[in-house]
Amino acid sequence: MGTKVRNLRTTLTKQSLINAFVNLVNEKDFDKITIADLTRGANVNRATFYAHFNDKYELLDYIVDESASNIIAKHTAEVEKFEDIIYQLVLAVCEFNQQPNIQCRRSYLNLIPQLKDKMLIELKKYLSNILVYKFTDIEMSFYVPIYANIILEAGYLWASGQVSFDKETIAKKVSLFELR
């Protein structure tokens, strides 16, 4: 079997498992989802599931990682100015935090720490890539975590309803570090 066919089949199978997971999370708490539920929903056998993921936690990690990196990529595509990038990253975090609330109502509270950790990793990765030519390694080790944590916390505060600003105002304030 050719590599292209194998890669396409792998991609389709993973997507099928992801779709099954998303559908199930809308019906059941995460803790109650079984591998049998996932394989039945994806129309694959148990061995196929285990060929792609060790367990449902690894599947969840994969989904969260992909979602975080895709949302960041979507919001920052073709944005060049640093202030605009920060603005878009705040909006990306708002969207990322809002998504599970819509799709996974029952399990959302259990996922918040994992969502925050995954998004923080993706923010640091993205910021490291765009700031590598602007700062020295020592400066990077200082600025990247600070920017990433500010962006993450701003989006989280908005998503959790702890601030009365709309997400665009929060993004603007963070991108300008406006403290008024």
Identify which of 8, 16, 11 has the alpha carbon closest to the alpha carbon of residue 44. 16
SS (H, E, C) 56-94: HHHHHHHHHHHHHHHHHHHHHCCCCCHHHHHHHHHHHHH
- Give the Cα separation of 123 and 154 in Å (integer): 13
Q: How far is Cα of residue 14 from the mean position of the Cα atoms in its chain? A: 17
Q: Summarize pLDDT for 22-73 with one digit per residue, the tens.
A: 888 878 888 889 999 999 999 999 999 999 999 998 998 898 888 899 999 9
Domain boundaries, the chain: 1-53, 54-180
Q: Summarize pLDDT for 71-125 with one digit per residue, the tens.
A: 999 999 999 898 999 999 999 999 988 765 545 555 555 666 777 888 999 999 9
- Give the Cα separation of 29 and 159 in Å (integer): 21
- Give the Cα separation of 73 and 126 in Å (integer): 9
Residue type, 163: V
Query: What is the pTM for the complete model shown?
Result: 0.80
Selecting from 3.40.190.170, 1.20.1050.10, 1.10.10.60, 3.40.190.10, what CATH number does the domain 1-53 have?
1.10.10.60
Predicted pLDDT at 108? 55
- CATH fold of the domain at 54-180: Tetracycline Repressor; domain 2 (1.10.357)
